[in-house]
Amino acid sequence: MSAFYNVLASNDDLPIVTDLPVHSGKVRSVYWLSNKHSKRLIASKGYNVAADAPLAVMVISDRISAFDCIWHGEGGLRGVPGKGAALNAVANYWFARFREAGLADSHIVDTPHPLVWIVQKARPVMVEAIARQYITGSMWRTYKAGERMFCGMQLPEGLQQDQCLPELLITPSTKGILKGIPNVAEADDVNIARADLEANYRAFNFSIPADINRYENLLRDGFSVISQDLAAHDQVLVDTKFEFGYVKDAKGNDKLIYMDEVGTPDSSRIWDGAALRSGKVVENSKEGFRQFLLNYFDDADILLNKNRMSERSALAKDNALPLQAMHDISNTYIGIAEKIIGHPLNVSQQPRQEIIDVLDQDYGLIR
C-alpha cells in the first residue's frame, strides 16, 4: 500500500523560476517564465513558436476535483495515485492524433516530465466547448425537469436517460464569469446558444466571426478522432469538453489551437462498450467518482445545488473518503489511460524531486 501514497498533492510551491504569482487551479499550477528564460528555451530547444513568445511551466497534480471541490482520502491521502500522469499522457496522445489528422496544434511545446508541460501562453476563447452524443448528466437532469430548449436547441420528446442522441450536439457554456453580455447570466459555466456567440463574438474572445465555425469544426472533428480510436478498444465516447485559444506561430501569425486538455477521463465521459450493449453503464472516467459521491452522502442536493456551495465545501473539507474509493478511481484513470496510449503508464515514485531534478538539469528553471 505504500506506493499508493506516492501522489503529488501540492504543485504550487515548487522552486521554479518565476517573477509572477503562481496560478493554481483545481488540478494544474502555472509558473510564468520571464522573457529571458522564455527566449533562452525557445532558442536552445528549437520550439516552433515566435522568438518572443511567452512560455510557462504547467505542473499537474494528483488532486481530484468534483462538484467544484477538492476531495481527499483517509490516512492523509491528498490525491489519486497516477491521476496526473494519466491525464497528461492521454491529452498528449490526443493532441498528437489531432496534429496527425491535420486539425490544429495545442499550446504544449515540450513535456519534460510525465507531470509537466511547457506551454505557450494563449489568449483563451471564453467558451467551454462541449459535444454530446448521449443524453446524460446535466443535460438529462434538465430534460427530466421538463425543459426542451438546451443551448438554444429544441430537443425532441420521448428521450430516455443515457440514450444515444439523433446527432452530435454542440452545447457550449461560459468559461469563467463574463459580464455585460446580453442574455448571458454573470456566472461560471452558464449554458449559451450559438446565437449568443455570433452576436457577441468579441466578448467571448473570438478574433473573427468565422472562428465560431472553426471551433465547431475542430470540436466535431476532434470528437470523431477520439470516438473512433476508443471504439477500437470497445469504449464509447459519450461527451467531451474542449477549450480553445489563440497563439502566435513562428512567423507571428495568430492561430486557433486546442488548449487545456482533450479526451481525458476528467474532461470526457467514457463508457464501456460491452456493458452498454447489455444495458448497463460502466464509467471509465471521473463520472464514476461523481456517482460515488452522490451515493455516498445522504443529501445529494448539496453536491448538485450551486446555492449550497458553502455546505459542499465543508463536506469536502471535513470528510476523508474511504481508501477503497480512491483506489478504485486510481484504477479507472490508469486503466483507461493504458488502453488509449497502448503501453504501461509511467507513474513517478518521487514526483516532486523528479520534477525539480529535470527542470534544473535539462532546462535551468530551478531557483
Let me know if 190 is exposed, middle or buried by CB neighbors in 10 A (0-12, 13-18, 19+): middle
| Residue 269 and residue 129 share a domain | yes
Predicted local distance difference test score (pLDDT) of residue 306? 87
Checking DSSP bridges between strand 235-248 and strand 268-272, what pairing results, if any?
A: antiparallel
Q: Does residue 139 fall inside a structural domain?
A: yes
Closest among 231, 170, 164 to 195, alpha carbons compared: 170
% of the chain at pLDDT higher than 90: 92
Split at pLDDT 50, 70, 90, the class of 2 is very low
Split at pLDDT 50, 70, 90, the class of 5 is low
Query: In total, how many domains does the chain have?
Result: 2
| Residue 111 and residue 90 share a domain | yes
Q: Does residue 296 fall inside a structural domain?
A: no
Predicted local distance difference test score (pLDDT) of residue 331? 96
Task: Report which residue type is found at 353.
Answer: Q
Q: Which residues pair with 366 in a beta bridge?
A: 16
Split at pLDDT 50, 70, 90, the class of 249 is confident
pLDDT over 70 (residue 319): yes
DSSP letters spanning 174-230: ESS---S-TT--SSSS-B--HHHHHHTTTTTT-SSTHHHHHHHHHHHHHHHHHHHHH
83-100 helix and 210-231 helix, angle to the nearest 10 degrees: 110
Query: Looking at 258, 277, 296, which one is the last position of a domain?
Result: 277
pTM: 0.94
Predicted local distance difference test score (pLDDT) of residue 6? 85
Residue pLDDT, tens place only, 75-126 = 999 999 999 999 999 999 999 999 999 999 999 999 999 999 999 999 999 9
Predicted local distance difference test score (pLDDT) of residue 1? 37
| Residue 58 and residue 22 share a domain | yes
Q: What domain range includes position 194?
A: 125-277
